[in-house]
Structure 1
Amino acid sequence: MTLMQLDLNLLAALDALLEEGSVAGAAERLHVTAPAMSRSLGRIRRTTGDQILVRTGRTMTPTPYAIAVREQVHELLQQVQGVLAPSRELDLTTLERTFTLRWHDSLVALGGPALLAAVREQAPGVRLRFLAESSVDTPELRRGEVDLEANADRPTAPDIRADRVAESQHVIVVRQGHPLTRVRAVTAAQYAAAEHITVSRRGRLGNALDDALARLGLTRRVVATAPTESTALEFVRDSDLLVTAPESTTRATATALGLTVLPLPFELPSAAVYLSWHQRYDTDPAHIWLRDLARSALAP
């Protein structure tokens, strides 16, 4: 008999027969009729070439073969049920797992500490690996090397899931005493005339800001790019450069560095934050738990 010809229902029937020691008891246990269980016993006998249970007076006695395989049958049934009908209950107290997260650096600073604190409180056996973003698009999500990404980009691949978990308005960050801090209200023209540093892991000098300024008939001068917001703020602190960044990820750090935050003097679409993962983790209880914590940690 080939594997494709095997009926796994017979494994459950055999387990019940060996546990109950009778056709009637096994039938009641599996909620089937006694004739149906008798037919299953007949099929088991033909498949194994053994009688399994033989009548001894008014009772049934297991054969030596049945006694020898009883524990193995029970273990096999448990394994099959674990594969084909897995439990979705998650025991966080015993969970041992390492999650790899590739998040934008500002999002690590914004939500990383809160996420780690929640993980350590609920599942002390779980570890988090935060990786820096790459300067190029990478397939780690698809290959299973990264469990969860967080950045401003909504993925387009059909096998990558994404949730928009937060959004923030953009603000201007300058040093204390910067010329723009001495005007009553920064105008778009004054903003454009200043020297700018942009944040781009790919080193791009232009972005959506330039499109918005172009619609106003203005252009700006970008003198440098920085790979992370924290690096850009260091440039700003010791110069007359300004950087434009999402308020939610920038204000706390800027304040701590003694920098000044100013409102942007024209409309710009809000900066979105997306959590992304591969579809293989859609129904993984541990991954679902981590995603929920990440959403809370990154919420405004």
Structure 2
Amino acid sequence: MQLDLNLLSALDALLEEGSVAGAAARLHVTAPAMSRSLGRIRRTTGDQILVRTGRTMTPTPYAIAVREQVHELLHQVQGVLAPSRELDLGTLERTFTLRWHDSLAALCGPALLTAVRGQAPGVRLRFLAEASVDTPELRRGEVDLEANATRPSAPDIRAESVGETRLVVVMRQGHPLARGRAVTAERYAAAEHVTVSRRGNLSDAVDDALARLGLTRRVVAAAPTEAAALEFVRGSDLLICVPEATTRTAVTDLGLTVRPLPLELPSAPVYLSWHQRYDTDQAHAWLRGLARTALAGCAASS
């Protein structure tokens, strides 16, 4: 039997995307063409690979068992057909797309851009705002790097912790809690609050910590970005809980005050994430190294 290597690429895409439409979009082919490829794969392997379960498709036990092997084989084939060459940063021309939490983009983005421009002037960076829902762009190769406080759960997404920063309370300088007695959990809970949530959530881990103490707080608004939430705080008696590393420019530019959070909460992590297809991409690895340094520097300075 003659092996069609195109089927290996199709199988890899189908197993990662979990749908014919997703795999077709990733490989830039039509859905009918990908459906035909799935049919050929089924005939070749004697397995259904993906089976319909309601509105979604679920991989078979065989598909789950061979997923990592298929991906590794595809990488080996690509390495043979496209042997790596020494990366020439001076002539590299490429556009990378980054989806970073807005505060990380504002705080760490300038250092990354400066480093990139200094080493590879032909490289351009596209920073995208976080979406209100989880999106598949990272898996589809439409986003190169993500940076936020969430570790992805998908098996084909790589993630590494590049730092962490403790949570603090931010308020306007004339806020009643900005002077005098220490901010206790009771005084903190008695104030009004704003949360930062791209999904519009009016509660978060702070509420869970307060509940363990038998306390509740009143959240009057949810802002989609930290920058918007800080503007709410600037002109009111609202409080906001944010990572300390992101407050330095806010304190200087907006005239705000920072106080310790009177609750037992773990530090906020910072994760850098990318799709495993870029593990051996030299230019991508170079950018990951610069991003890692920039993000770690921000967290370390908190």
* TM-score of the aligned structures, taking structure 1 as reference length: 0.72
Question: Superposition RMSD on alpha carbons, in Å?
Answer: 1.9
Q: CA deviation at 1:252?
A: 2.4
Q: CA deviation at 1:184?
A: 2.3
Alignment match of 1:95 (pick from 92, 116, 125) = 92
Partner amino acid for 1:276? S
Q: Distance in 2 between matches of 1:180 and 1:285?
A: 51
Q: Does 1:132 align with 2:157?
A: no
Q: Tell whether the 8 Å contact from 1:233 to 1:254 is kept in structure 2 after alignment.
A: no
Q: CA deviation at 1:3?
A: 10
Alignment match of 2:220 (pick from 220, 223, 243) = 223
Q: Distance in 1 between matches of 2:260 and 2:208?
A: 18
- Structure 2 equivalent of residue 12 of structure 1: none
Q: Distance in 1 between matches of 2:163 and 2:272?
A: 9
- Structure 2 equivalent of residue 173 of structure 1: 170
Q: Distance in 1 between matches of 2:259 and 2:224?
A: 22
- Structure 2 equivalent of residue 254 of structure 1: 251
Q: Tell whether the 8 Å contact from 1:106 to 1:229 is kept in structure 2 after alignment.
A: yes
- Structure 2 equivalent of residue 56 of structure 1: none
Alignment match of 1:121 (pick from 118, 122, 128) = 118
Q: How high is the sequence identity, in percent, across the aligned residues?
A: 79
Q: CA deviation at 1:247?
A: 0.3
- Structure 1 equivalent of residue 278 of structure 2: 281
Q: Distance in 2 between matches of 1:223 and 1:241?
A: 8
CA deviation profile, 1:47-68 (whole Å, cap 9, x unmatched): xxxxxxxxxxxxxxxxxxxxxx
CA deviation profile, 1:128-167 (whole Å, cap 9, x unmatched): 0000000000000111100000111100000000011110
Q: CA deviation at 1:253?
A: 2.0
Structure 1 residues 153, 258: closer, same or farther in 2, change over 3 A?
Answer: same
- Structure 2 equivalent of residue 106 of structure 1: 103
Q: Tell whether the 8 Å contact from 1:96 to 1:125 is kept in structure 2 after alignment.
A: yes
Q: Distance in 1 between matches of 2:79 and 2:162?
A: 34
Alignment match of 2:209 (pick from 208, 212, 221) = 212
Partner amino acid for 2:246? T
Q: Distance in 2 between matches of 1:245 and 1:294?
A: 22
Bigger radius of gyration, 1 or 2? 1
Q: Does 1:233 align with 2:230?
A: yes
Q: Does 1:159 align with 2:178?
A: no
Q: Distance in 2 between matches of 1:279 and 1:82?
A: 15
Q: CA deviation at 1:116?
A: 0.4
CA deviation profile, 1:238-265 (whole Å, cap 9, x unmatched): 1000100000012322332110011111
Q: Distance in 2 between matches of 1:188 and 1:3?
A: 66
* SS of residue matched to 1:209: helix
Partner amino acid for 2:186? A
CA deviation profile, 1:26-45 (whole Å, cap 9, x unmatched): xxxxxxxxxxxxxxxxxxxx
Q: CA deviation at 1:83?
A: 4.8
- Structure 2 equivalent of residue 196 of structure 1: 193
| Unaligned segments of structure 1, at least 5 residues | 5-79
Q: Does 1:293 align with 2:269?
A: no
Structure 1 residues 96, 214: closer, same or farther in 2, change over 3 A?
Answer: same
Q: Distance in 1 between matches of 2:163 and 2:265?
A: 16
Partner amino acid for 1:268? L
* SS of residue matched to 1:245: strand
- How many residue pairs match? The answer is 224
* TM-score of the aligned structures, taking structure 2 as reference length: 0.71
Q: Distance in 1 between matches of 2:3 and 2:150?
A: 47
Structure 1 residues 81, 170: closer, same or farther in 2, change over 3 A?
Answer: closer
